Amino acid sequence: MKLDEDRDRVLNSADQGTADQYQRFLCNKGGCFLTQGIPRAINVTLLPTPVSESAYNHLVNAQEPLNKLIELSSRDVAFVTRTIEPCTKVDYLAKRLLDIYKLCVLDENQITLGMYRHDYMFHSPNPTGDDALHNGAFKMVEANLMSAALLGTGTHVMELHNQVLARELPERKQPYKKTLVPMVRGIASAWGLYDRPGSVFLFLVAPDDFNWFDQQKMIDAMWDDYGIISMKMTYEEFMEEGELSSDNRYYVRGKEIAIFYFRSMWNEDHYKTEKHWETRLKIERSKAVKVPNIRHQCINLKYFQQAFLNKGVMEKYLTEGESKLVKSVFAELYQLAPGAEGDKAAQLAFDDPRGWVLKPSREGGGNNIWEEEMLEKLTQLHDSDEREAFVLMQRLNAPHVPNRVVRSGPNERAKLSETFDTTAELGLFCVYVADSQEKVLVNEVAGPLIRTKPAANNEGGIAIGIGVMDSVVFAD
């Protein structure tokens, strides 16, 4: 793809000094990850990725009805049960989550706080063409309703790129927004509804969590702006130390918990013992706010992304106009349950292996199955109930954008790559708050995040070391 001469000038003139400046800026701001306990600056693109402003605004407009769809559908016991139950024979995580859902979904006086990141790609029929940024539309990759990371870190990348643009490309516009501000404002709204002075916001983290700096940005903002105290511990630590009172309030280390924020426990292997599951049920039944609650954790399963596209589903919860808007940002998805309908969907992949991707209902990068491996997996699963645990999704072809990457290792000087073609995934952070009577108090987009990878790679997760952090600049 050919972009403009000014952008090429910045790409071509960058040198080691530029990489050093990026690394020092990020270290100063706390734009870091932990690698074996040692801080390192996050890996970032040299320049933000251009996107169509009109396409971006259309996508933003679809988020509030999408959040509404998530909330209303999660309260529909028949819909949730009908969607998950056929998969429980082969998906143990789905089975146990559904068990807790059935026990708790009708519990009254529960405050809802949703902290989401909905991920999209701009799908272009000609991703290498000069018109690729304007010829196509954003389509959903997945909804992340649990442990939606990089909120604080993404803010630092926007700040970095905003300064670079002001200095080098002053005519370029960003949707520059302090993403953290509306998210923390939503947290404060839910904390206020809980209305127990001195109660805390508890991060439940993985033992080897590398996102300490990302979370610290939230911790600082909650304290500085609203006086909310935060604590952080592993799920296993909480299992041993958490105490549930007779009035169904949780306490740990002398503090009452107002909000549980799960930054772990999204995969089956996180629940190592029956006590892990018993604790999850106790948390759900407590009066504390859960992020996510069990309703949203169930909807987070990939089956629902496909189920929402079934005839009449969206229309049950949204107006005709809202349904049309949300559908416009969904990719094609098909269920693969054994039977005629699933066989017909599987045949799409055999007819065009490069046009589809096989997705299991799992979180984290590196789980999707592509091309020949996809065909081998579908052949292996033919007539097997295990096929129920996958969905087939339209493969999205993002524009190939030339860029360079600044990479940093622990205790190492930053390195600047050569220019290469990249593709980007755009995430939109959203916050949703409803009181115990289901009155919606907050439903808004907090701001954008971009993660970028080499165009030659199928997978691009930050956690698996392929993708790098990025931000948005308008191409129009």
Q: Which pLDDT tens digit goes with each residue over 248-270?
A: 999 999 999 999 999 999 999 99
Nearest to 206 by CA among 266, 252, 255, 256: 266
Residues 293, 261: contact at Cβ < 8 Å?
no
The tokens for 169 are 């490309």
DSSP 375-400: HHHHHHTTT-GGGGGEEEEEPP----
Which pTM does this prediction carry?
Answer: 0.96
Q: Residue 106: its pLDDT value, please?
A: 87
Cis preceding linkage at 353, omega within 30: no
The dihedral sign for the CA sequence 41, 45, 47, 52: negative
> What is the DSSP code (8-state) at residue 331?
P
**What is the Cα–Cα distance from 150 to 334, expressed in whole angstroms?**
30
Q: Are 114 and 430 in contact (CB under 8 A)?
A: yes
Reduce the DSSP state of residue 232 to 3 states and report it.
strand
Cβ–Cβ under 8 Å, residues 257 and 281: no
CB neighbour list of residue 419: distance below 8 Å, 6 or more residues apart: 11, 12, 402, 403, 404
Distance in angstroms (rounded) separating the CA atoms of residues 363 and 361 = 7
Residues of the chain below pLDDT 50: none
Find the helix packing angle between 340-351 and 371-380, rounded to 10°.
150
Measured over the CA atoms of residue 159, residue 160, residue 163 and residue 169, the dihedral's sign is negative
